[in-house]
Structures are given as structure tokens and as C-alpha cells.
């Protein structure tokens, strides 16, 4: 999603271009920079990737001490040079992350005042408004403040003003923004990961706090007694994330899961979960988007089965637009890898405003969602760069499993021996996941065959249903093959009409209490001549004759931990299908890693 970066430094273009490179993983389709040079704003923009911008800068170089840059993920208007940021009007250039909801109304007003627009973006109204107020002889700070008052929606802004000195302003409302004062300069960015080694300390501005970055330092405009800049350590500082010998970050992140599960297996962080008294609540609501939503859907099975606690799972983008029944005996858990997903953040604020206790389950410690919730638990997956979530998904599941065991213990719903067994089961995860990864070439065979189809159905039963959804999501987002998932028992209520020789069905079939029921669903598929691909227990082969490129044998595993195991072949299947089709697995088209707009 859009990324912004700004620097006031000697040769400011260098940290800005480096920052844009670090933001590439978020997904974007155009990029640009503006710089104050010789008392004039100069801009270079391209449609496409950063290497094109860098090439343009070699042909038409720029130098200066005050620079802003942007990677744009198109929302309002296509990915074109004119829609790329920065947008400029007169003395003002702006980079914007977020959405201005009332931009049409503002644009109409500005057109009446004689302004001309070059883009179809919502963002372009911002420099026009600021420039309008500057032309009325307002100070830079007052012009920005007055313009901001007109905006409805969400924004994080970097504002460059051509004036007496080299000044850069930053302000946010609902969108992520970080500020940093280093030894060699002052910086702003939409993501702590975008900042370089000079940014060991960062500040998270509050909504509508106007900040001025100058060559003499950073200051809050209109400070008051209770508003000060408090810096925190930047945990990403100097961490160089590389894909090592792997062909993609996604591949690396899939293979990292053994070590991650190993490090989560020890009693580490266990005391965190006991800070929640699960006896205080009679209901848990888990709210998330995408893969995080499917992790939440798995957790529902665990909480209900082992802790006997009612769980509702909600899609964040829907939650606050219906009328959810909320009680003071409810714990609302918000799950987000990035901790910045706009819908999840808005749902969290909504629940908090309704006096519900909130808990964030995030991968990024200081993210907006982490800072907003009453309680925060980390999933300790480390930076996830591939757009498709893999290791964050398994770590979310692992932490949910541990939370659930804590809830089961507190609520004394299961016997001590069973609890101990569930804990022991968890310790087997690294070994079982490694066994699957060692046989990844077998999954490649299935992927090569599957990637010839244009539509694929995924099915599973019980706790494997969300894993089927996760498998279908993973496949469609990186290979662009149309894939849908169903609870296997639902097939005959509609989707079975689709089955023929051109509609393969991927079945997740570990040995569990529902295997016999699933076998009947498999027969229904076979009877319609739909190609079958099974990720399942060895015993399935006694009933169904499949070739080696149609069957992947799962290692025997305790039922309680199976979703954390069966998702691994789903991830590999998606990876190898996408690779077979020659797709960019780390940066799939149209997708963004951190979805910071609604």
C-alpha cells in the first residue's frame, strides 16, 4: 500500500530512495520524489517500479537537503505518472497515505477558486488547499492547519514548502506515521521499517499533531505542557532482511517456520497470557482480515473445544457497520500481522468506544493496533516481507493455541492430563513441519499438475475448513488461479454443480474424528469425474487410488495441532503453482502488504 518517506539531511535524496526501497515489499504501482533545490520544488515520477525512478534520476539528477518520496498503490485513479505522488500546487508538494473521503466536494470548491488539477487522485486537493491558504499570507504552519481542518478521511502527510528555509512538515489522522531524529538528519516515514540505520529512535505522532522537520531538529508546532516528543527504540533499525539463498522472501518465510515454532515452543511468553483472566469473560470476539481472519477462525475451534468459551469471529471491514451486540463481559481480540490494517484498527477503536476490553495480537510491536488495545501480545514471527502471509499465520495459530491452553487451565474445563497432553502436542510442531518441508519436492509435483487449471475448489471439514480457505486465498493471491473453499459438507448444497473434469478439488484430509465423513465427500467428488488432489493421511490411499502427483501424505500428528501442520502444504502448493506460472510471488499484482486504507 502507499508508502511515504521524507528527509531533511545533506543529500536528502539518498535516505529517501533507500527508504522507498525498504517500502517496496508493501506493494505499489508508481513512485516519485520531490526535492527542494535552489529554492524551487523539483519532482520526478514514474509509473512502475523504483528501478525506473532511479533510472530517471540518473538521466535527470536532483540534489537538495529536503526531500519527500512516495510509492503509490492506486485507489483513486489509475497507476499513471500524473496520478503518482508527490502532488504539487505552487509552493507546496505533498505525499499522502490514506483516503480523503470528501475530496470531490473540496475539488469542486477549489475549481471554483480557479485551481487546475493534473490528476484524478483524492490526494491532489491537499497541496491545493495548503497553497490557497499560503497565498492568503498565512504562515506555513497555519496554512497546513487550516487545510487539514477541511479534510475528512485518513491521512499521513509529508508536506514540502518552498520558502525561506528547508522545512518539511508531517501530520497524520488515522494513518501510520513515524518520525525520527538521527545524527545525520530528520526523517518521516509511514513505516518504521522504511527508516535506515540513522533512525535508532522513533516517535509515533498523535493524530493531528503538526511536526516540523528542519536541519536544526524536529519540533512540535503549537506544543502544550502535556504534548512532548517521546522517542522509543526502533526495533527494525539496522536489521537487514534478506532472502538469503531462497528464490523469494515467501519461500524463505515458509522454511523459517521450523525455527520459529521451536522458539515459541519453550515456555517463553507463557506468563503474558496469564495477564488475562479468562473467567472474567463469557464471550470472545475475534476480529481480523484475510489470513488473520482464517487464523481467528481456527482459534474459535480451540477456544470452544478446550476452554468452553463462546467465540464469534468477525471480518473487520464488516464489524462496525452492523450492530454487534457488545457486553462488558466480552473480550475482543484484534489479529493483525502488520498491526496497521485500517479496517482492523477502526474496528478496535469502535469496540473500545463501546467499553469492550480489547486485546491486540500483532507481529509489529509498536504498530497502531498494538498501541491502541488494552492488552497486546506479539506473535514473534519477525519481519514478514512476502505479501502473502505464511510464517505470521502459523505464529498467530501458535500463540492462539497457547492462549487457549491458558484459558482452558484457568476455566478448569479439561482434565489436567488432557491439558498436559495438549502442551506436549505443541512441542511436536517443529519436527512435524520439518518433515513436510523436507518432502517439498513431492508437493511441487502436485503444483505442476494443478497449475494447468483455471479454477480450483478447496475443501476440508471442521477445524480444517479455515485452512481450506487459507489455502485457496494463498493460491489465488500469488498464482491468480481462481480458487474457492468450502466446508466439505456444503459441497452438495450448491458447489457440486461446478464439478467436472476441468474443476479439480483439493482436499485436506488428516486423520481425525471427521475422516470418515470426509471420505464420503471425496467419493462425491470422484463420482463427478473432478480431478482429486489430496493432502491427507496415508490411510486415505486404502480407499482412493491416486497417483504420486495427486496425493501428498501428511505425517501422523495429534488432532489438536493439525491445522498448524496442514497449512504448510497449502503454502507450498501456492508457492510452487505461482513459480510454475512464472509469477512474482513476493509482490503479486494489485496487492499490498499493509492495507492502511479502508
Contact 352, 379 (CB under 8 A): no
Specify the 3-state DSSP secondary structure of 390: coil
Strand 505-509 with 455-460, pairing: parallel
Q: How far is the CB of 435 from ligand F6R (least distance, A)?
A: 24
Per the structure block, which three cell numbers stand in for 433? Answer: 513441519
Q: Is 257 in the site for ligand F6R (CB under 6 A)?
A: no
Query: Using CA atoms, how far apart are residues 146 and 139, in angstroms rounded to an integer?
Result: 10
The active-site residue, picked from 2, 66, 237, 289, is 2
Give the nearest residue (CB) to ligand F6R. Answer: 290
Strand 201-203 with 166-173, pairing: unpaired
Q: Is 291 in the site for ligand F6R (CB under 6 A)?
A: yes
**Please, which residue, 406 or 586, has the CB nearer to ligand F6R?**
586
DSSP secondary structure of 352-376: HHTT-EEEEEESSTTSHHHHHSSEE
> Which member of 289, 356, 457, 503 binds ligand F6R (CB under 6 A)?
289
**Please, which residue, 470 or 537, has the CB nearer to ligand F6R?**
470
Cα dist from 73 to 4, 60, 205, 415, whole Å: 11, 24, 23, 51
**Please, which residue, 200 or 344, has the CB nearer to ligand F6R?**
344
Q: Give the x/- contact pattern for ligand F6R in 483-512, rule: CB under 6 A.
A: ------------------------------
Q: Is 297 in the site for ligand F6R (CB under 6 A)?
A: no
Residue located via cell numbers 506468563: 271
Q: Give the x/- contact pattern for ligand F6R in 458-477, rule: CB under 6 A.
A: ---------------x---x
Active-site residue, 404 included: no
**Please, which residue, 291 or 358, has the CB nearer to ligand F6R?**
291
Using the Cα atoms of residue 433, residue 434, residue 435 and residue 436 in order, give the sign of their dihedral. positive
Scan residues 5-64 and list those touching ligand F6R (CB under 6 A).
Answer: none
Scan residues 534-573 and list those touching ligand F6R (CB under 6 A).
Answer: none
Q: How far is the CB of 378 from ligand F6R (least distance, A)?
A: 13
Per the structure block, which three cell numbers stand in for 202? Answer: 522513533
Residue located via cell numbers 464489524: 319
Q: Give the x/- contact pattern for ligand F6R in 350-389, rule: CB under 6 A.
A: --------------------------------------xx
**Please, which residue, 130 or 592, has the CB nearer to ligand F6R?**
592
**Please, which residue, 595 or 597, has the CB nearer to ligand F6R?**
595
The active-site residue, picked from 300, 349, 583, 593, is 593
DSSP secondary structure of 440-451: HHHHHHHHHHHT
Q: Is 341 in the site for ligand F6R (CB under 6 A)?
A: yes
**Please, which residue, 34 or 341, has the CB nearer to ligand F6R?**
341
Of 40, 71, 79, nearest to 162 by C-alpha is 40
Active-site residue, 593 included: yes
Query: Of all residues in the chain, what percent are helix, strand and coil, respectively (each to 5)?
Result: 40, 25, 35
Strand 217-220 with 211-214, pairing: antiparallel
Specify the 3-state DSSP secondary structure of 525: helix
Of 149, 165, 211, 173, nearest to 6 by C-alpha is 211
Q: Is 298 in the site for ligand F6R (CB under 6 A)?
A: no
**Please, which residue, 74 or 213, has the CB nearer to ligand F6R?**
74
Using the Cα atoms of residue 356, residue 361, residue 365 and residue 368 in order, give the sign of their dihedral. negative
Q: Give the x/- contact pattern for ligand F6R in 577-596, rule: CB under 6 A.
A: ------------------x-
* Span of 64-72, 86-94, 331-339, 552-560 interacting with ligand F6R by CB under 6 A: 331-339
> Which member of 336, 358, 368, 464 binds ligand F6R (CB under 6 A)?
336
If binding means CB under 6 A, how many residues of this protein chain bind ligand F6R?
14
Query: Using CA atoms, how far apart are residues 433 and 568, in angstroms rounded to an integer?
Result: 7
Of 502, 500, 506, nearest to 533 by C-alpha is 506
> Which member of 123, 154, 181, 337 binds ligand F6R (CB under 6 A)?
337
Query: Using CA atoms, how far apart are residues 565 and 253, in angstroms rounded to an integer?
Result: 15
Q: What residues make contact with ligand F6R under the rule CB under 6 A? A: 289-292, 336-338, 341, 344, 388-389, 473, 477, 595
Active-site residues: which are they? 2, 593
Amino acid at each position: 500500500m502507499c508508502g511515504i518517506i521524507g528527509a531533511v539531511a545533506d543529500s536528502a535524496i539518498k535516505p529517501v530512495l533507500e527508504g522507498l526501497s525498504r517500502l517496496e515489499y508493501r506493494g505499489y504501482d508508481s513512485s516519485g520524489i520531490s526535492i527542494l533545490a535552489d529554492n524551487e520544488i523539483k519532482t520526478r515520477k514514474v509509473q512502475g517500479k523504483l528501478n525506473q525512478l532511479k533510472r530517471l534520476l540518473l538521466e535527470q539528477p536532483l540534489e537538495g537537503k529536503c526531500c519527500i518520496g512516495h510509492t503509490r498503490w492506486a485507489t483513486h485513479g489509475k497507476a499513471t505518472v500524473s496520478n503518482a505522488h508527490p502532488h504539487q500546487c505552487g509552493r507546496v508538494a505533498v505525499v499522502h497515505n490514506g483516503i480523503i473521503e470528501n475530496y470531490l466536494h473540496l475539488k469542486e470548491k477549489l475549481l471554483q477558486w480557479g485551481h487546475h488539477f493534473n490528476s484524478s487522485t483524492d490526494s491532489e486537493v491537499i497541496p491545493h488547499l495548503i497553497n490557497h491558504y499560503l497565498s492568503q499570507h498565512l504562515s506555513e504552519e497555519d496554512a497546513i492547519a487550516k487545510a487539514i481542518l477541511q479534510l475528512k478521511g485518513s491521512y499521513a502527510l509529508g508536506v514540502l514548502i518552498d520558502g525561506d528555509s528547508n522545512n518539511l512538515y508531517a501530520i497524520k489522522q488515522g494513518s501510520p506515521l513515524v518520525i525520527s531524529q538521527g545524527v545525520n538528519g530528520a526523517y518521516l516515514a509511514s513505516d518504521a521499517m522504511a527508516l535506515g540505520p540513522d533512525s535508532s529512535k522513533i516517535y509515533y505522532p498523535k493524530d493531528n499533531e503538526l511536526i516540523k522537520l528542519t536541519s536544526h531538529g524536529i519540533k512540535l508546532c503549537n506544543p502544550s505542557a502535556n504534548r512532548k516528543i517521546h522517542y522509543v527504540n526502533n526495533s527494525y533499525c539496522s536489521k537487514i532482511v534478506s532472502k538469503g539463498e531462497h528464490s523469494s522472501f515467501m519461500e524463505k518465510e515458509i522454511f523459517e517456520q521450523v525455527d520459529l515454532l521451536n522458539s515459541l515452543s519453550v515456555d517463553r511468553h507463557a506468563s503474558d497470557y496469564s495477564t488475562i483472566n479468562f473467567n472474567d469473560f463469557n464471550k470472545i470476539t475475534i476480529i481480523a482480515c484475510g489470513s488473520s481472519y482464517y487464523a481467528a477462525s481456527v482459534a474459535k475451534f480451540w477456544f470452544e473445544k478446550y476452554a468452553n468459551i463462546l467465540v464469534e469471529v468477525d471480518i473487520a471491514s464488516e464489524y462496525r457497520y452492523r450492530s454487534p451486540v457488545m457486553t462488558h463481559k466480552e473480550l475482543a481480540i484484534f489479529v493483525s500481522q502488520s498491526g496497521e490494517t485500517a479496517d482492523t484498527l477502526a474496528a478496535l477503536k469502535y469496540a473500545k468506544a463501546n467499553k469492550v476490553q480489547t486485546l491486540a495480537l500483532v507481529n509489529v510491536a509498536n504498530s497502531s493496533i498494538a498501541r491502541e488495545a488494552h492488552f497486546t501480545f506479539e506473535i514473534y514471527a519477525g519481519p514478514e516481507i512476502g505479501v502473502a502471509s505464511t510464517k505470521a499465520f502459523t505464529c498467530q495459530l501458535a500463540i492462539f493455541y497457547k492462549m487457549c491452553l491458558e484459558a482452558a487451565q484457568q476455566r478448569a474445563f479439561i482434565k489436567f492430563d488432557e491439558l498436559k497432553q495438549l502442551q506436549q502436542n505443541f512441542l511436536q510442531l517443529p519436527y512435524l513441519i520439518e518433515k513436510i518441508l523436507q518432502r517439498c519436492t513431492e508437493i511441487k509435483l502436485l503444483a505442476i499438475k494443478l497449475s494447468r487449471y483455471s479454477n480450483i475448489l478447496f475443501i476440508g471439514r471442521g477445524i480444517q475448513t479455515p485452512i481450506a480457505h487459507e489455502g485457496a486465498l494463498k493460491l489465488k493471491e500469488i498464482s491468480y488461479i481462481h480458487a474457492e473453499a468450502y466446508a466439505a459438507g456444503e459441497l452438495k448444497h450448491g458447489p457440486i454443480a461446478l464439478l467436472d473434469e476441468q474443476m479439480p478439488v483439493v482436499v485436506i484430509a488428516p486423520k481425525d474424528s471427521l475422516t470418515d465423513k470426509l471420505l464420503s465427500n471425496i467419493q462425491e467428488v470422484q463420482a463427478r469425474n473432478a480431478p482429486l488432489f489430496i493432502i491427507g493421511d496415508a490411510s486415505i490411499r486404502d480407499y482412493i487410488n491416486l497417483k504420486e502427483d495427486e496425493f501428498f501424505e501428511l505425517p501422523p500428528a495429534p488432532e489438536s495441532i493439525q491445522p498448524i501442520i496442514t497449512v504448510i502444504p497449502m503454502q507450498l502448493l501456492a508457492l510452487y503453482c505461482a513459480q510454475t506460472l512464472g509469477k512474482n510471488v513476493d509482490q503479486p499484482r494489485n496487492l499490498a502488504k499493509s492495507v492502511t486504507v479502508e
